[in-house]
Amino acid sequence: MTSRISILITGASGGIGRAAAIECAQRGARIGVHYNGNRERAESTLAALSGDGHQLFQCDITDPAAAQQLIEDTNQALGGLDVLVNNAGISQRYQFDEIDYATWQKTWQRIVDTNLTAASNLCFLAGKKMIAAGGGRIVNVSSRGAFRGEPLMPWYGASKAGMNAMGQSLAQALGPKGVFVYTVAPGFVETEMAAAVLASPEGDNIRNQSSIGRVAQPGELGKTIGFLAFEAPEFMTGCIVDVNGASYLRS
């Protein structure tokens, strides 16, 4: 893979996506900075990228037609699509006994639509482009919650477990076509999405779950994603890379 590749990163206006964009731009890639609602933050990410040729793309990825247009626009504007980073995701926490059935249904639908269905659609659309171009890579951002259970947000854990299974299945389906699929499963990361929980009384307990006594910094995930996008051996396809400070160990 040459140094001047084109990468689309969803949810790149902040947190892990922003860190991944900065890391991959430093490695020489053209970056498609995707955002949904906050253009100002997306522009801040764009301004932080080294090199040139980067582009902003606004899209509600839960809209299948809009997702298709996003891939078409990215492919055209960046001169191809070598790597897709499926990072966009949302979460919502509720106590089981504090919500009603309507909220339960609405929350499941919203989280799964964003975290899993939209990601699967982008994998399909980008995968087709990559196959036509002779190959590529997909990096999906999952969560340790896929393995350890999430009692306050079962919809989130389920969506991320689905992402893991999807990545492994696509690695088998697309490997013969030269498209390699990797998954990153972080624990808590110091991002805007986690800020309220980490600032709450629960924060110290979360930090102490790691043997290092803290949560991850976005740049640590950015470096991991950069490695998978540029350097990871093809034979790692289908892998799930845990980046959680030993807060959850699978056997």
**Residue 248 known to be catalytic:** no
Residue 234 phi, psi dihedral angles, 5° rounding: -55, -30
Are the C-beta atoms of 36 and 9 separated by less than 8 Å?
no
Are the C-beta atoms of 42 and 87 separated by less than 8 Å?
no
DSSP symbols for 87-101: ---------GGG--H
Beta pairing partners, 189: 216
Name the region of 149 (left: φ>0; alpha: ψ -120 to 50; beta: rest): left
Q: Check 35, 156, 182, 248 and give the catalytic one.
A: 156
- Which positions are annotated as active-site residues? 156
